Amino acid sequence: MANHAIPNKNDFVLIVATNIEEDDMSAIIDSLEFEKNIILLTDNVSARSPTKDLFKDLLYVLDDFSNISNTIRNLRNFVGDRKVVGVIGLDEEYDYSISRRLAETFKLDFYPKDILAIAANKRLQKKVFADSGVRIPHYVLFDIHKGISDVDLETVGFPNVLKPAKGFASYNVYINNDLSEFKANVLDAARNIESFKGENSIESNESNESDIFIVEEYVVGNEYSCDFLIDGQSHDMNMLRFTRKVRGPAVGEFGGFLLFNPDSQGGSKHAEFRLADLESVCHKIASAYRFSDGIYNVDFMFSKGEIIVLESTVRPGIATFIELMVDIYKYTSINVFIRKKLNLPFHVHIPDKSGAVLYIRTPALGMIESFDIAGLEHGKYKDKILSVYKIFDVGSILTEHDYVRSNTNILGYVFFKDISLDELNSLCNYVESTVKISIKALK
């Protein structure tokens, strides 16, 4: 960070993190600026080995979140004489209700309930965004248990996207290329929600609209994401991060990410808009959120000359690009928000520098016999490699349990610097063809 002020040693920010993938949790913890001023409340999913080894220098509490009263009591006992000055919620699948209840417990400001409702409910979010002048995909709503006879598919056409009005991390999201796929995916989604009903609810009196689904037009174009910060008093907005997503093997999954400043790519044939265009859209989103103090993440497409917003939520973006931000931006969105909670100064600016993180994947199952990355060190992009990280290595056993939703395993990832938009496709092909992996099938 540009300003090196330090916090009071007895001031702590509480981070509530649930269901975070291992590589994403590693990125968050490895990049923390003030780890001695953090209390992490998390679950066994986020703290599973080997990620838990990263917690050794942190104050942390493990909880299954099955009883919010017990969670609050256990955390208060752990906090003791320490002073909690802020709460950051990364508990999206709980609609941030855990974070909100803990903020109330420690008498701290948090997002108002109606703002959290906008973040958690895509039906409501689409309405308030459209009312604020934000371009969103055309869509229709329906109750998934009442059949599809009344669904106006002409409004959205084919292909289209089926997703729950309340959901997270691309779970229960389907692309439908025709009516037969749509019917099959509706049945599959209906079966899935029955098994998940109530699982992530800590307050049974709050409606979760789990049966309400959205069918929206499939937007053709490149997908991006960004983070921005709102000062609730001045209504000032700070753009924190801008990322191009690399297409992955399945809906909601990505091959990697490119951090760059669109204004510095003016000579690129792939440059699609200016940063000011995005800031204008984010200002409308901030208006929809009533300029509530906090940090916001936005996923959007650029298609046919316009920015089309897919969804937004009230937390920073979480992915391996967090570690890349340290190298490229010299800050991360979550660290800026921590500074704000600790009442410390911060300076943010999306730089002209760029960088990419690309995943190493395999669909194979079995034991890794070889995992050779030596070719990366001698290839055409060798001078642009910042680091290579292996999640699995020789001798590791890959099972279906390790699969992500596309039935592939992410074995590791590669960080690059100084990557332009024009190089992105070539870089993806380079990683895929250069890394050599041999896996022995097990009986």
Residue with tokens 């089926």: 162
With respect to residue 306, please indicate whether it lies within any of the assigned structural domains: no
The total domain count for the chain is: 3
- Residue 409 is predicted with a pLDDT of 81
CB 431 within 8 A of CB 358: yes
**Residue 404 belongs to a domain with what CATH number?**
3.30.470.20
Is residue 360 located within the same domain as residue 432? Answer: yes
- Domain final residue pick, 217, 252, 285: 217
User: Using one digit for the tens of pLDDT, what is the confidence trace for 117-172?
Assistant: 999 999 999 999 999 999 999 999 999 888 888 899 999 999 999 999 987 666 78
Is residue 154 located within the same domain as residue 213? Answer: yes
The span from the CA of 319 to the CA of 21, in Å, is 9
Is residue 370 located within the same domain as residue 426? Answer: yes
Tokens of 329: 């931006």
Is residue 30 located within the same domain as residue 73? Answer: yes
With respect to residue 250, please indicate whether it lies within any of the assigned structural domains: no
Longest distance between any two alpha carbons in the chain, whole Å:
63
Q: CA angle, 116 as apex, 110 and 119 as ends, to 5°?
A: 130
Is residue 372 located within the same domain as residue 432? Answer: yes
- Residue 41 is predicted with a pLDDT of 96
With respect to residue 243, please indicate whether it lies within any of the assigned structural domains: no
**Residue 212 belongs to a domain with what CATH number?**
3.30.1490.20
- Domain final residue pick, 187, 217, 247: 217
- Residue 4 is predicted with a pLDDT of 61
With respect to residue 377, please indicate whether it lies within any of the assigned structural domains: yes
The span from the CA of 274 to the CA of 259, in Å, is 14
With respect to residue 76, please indicate whether it lies within any of the assigned structural domains: yes
Is residue 104 located within the same domain as residue 2? Answer: yes
- Residue 193 is predicted with a pLDDT of 77
- Residue 195 is predicted with a pLDDT of 60
The span from the CA of 85 to the CA of 60, in Å, is 16
- Residue 205 is predicted with a pLDDT of 39
With respect to residue 166, please indicate whether it lies within any of the assigned structural domains: yes
Is residue 13 located within the same domain as residue 96? Answer: yes
With respect to residue 84, please indicate whether it lies within any of the assigned structural domains: yes
Cis ω before 112 (30° cut-off from 0) = no
SS (HEC) of 103-137: HHHCCCCCCCHHHHHHHHCHHHHHHHHHHCCCCCC
Q: Which domain holds residue 379?
A: 355-440
With respect to residue 72, please indicate whether it lies within any of the assigned structural domains: yes
- Domain final residue pick, 172, 192, 217: 217
Is residue 31 located within the same domain as residue 95? Answer: yes
Mean pLDDT of successive 10-residue stretches along the chain, which has 443 residues: 74 95 88 95 70 76 93 96 97 94 97 95 96 97 86 93 83 91 92 64 54 94 97 94 89 88 75 92 97 97 96 96 96 97 95 95 90 91 94 88 64 94 92 94 83
Is residue 38 located within the same domain as residue 79? Answer: yes
Is residue 85 located within the same domain as residue 163? Answer: no
**Residue 26 belongs to a domain with what CATH number?**
3.40.50.20
How much is the pTM?
A: 0.92
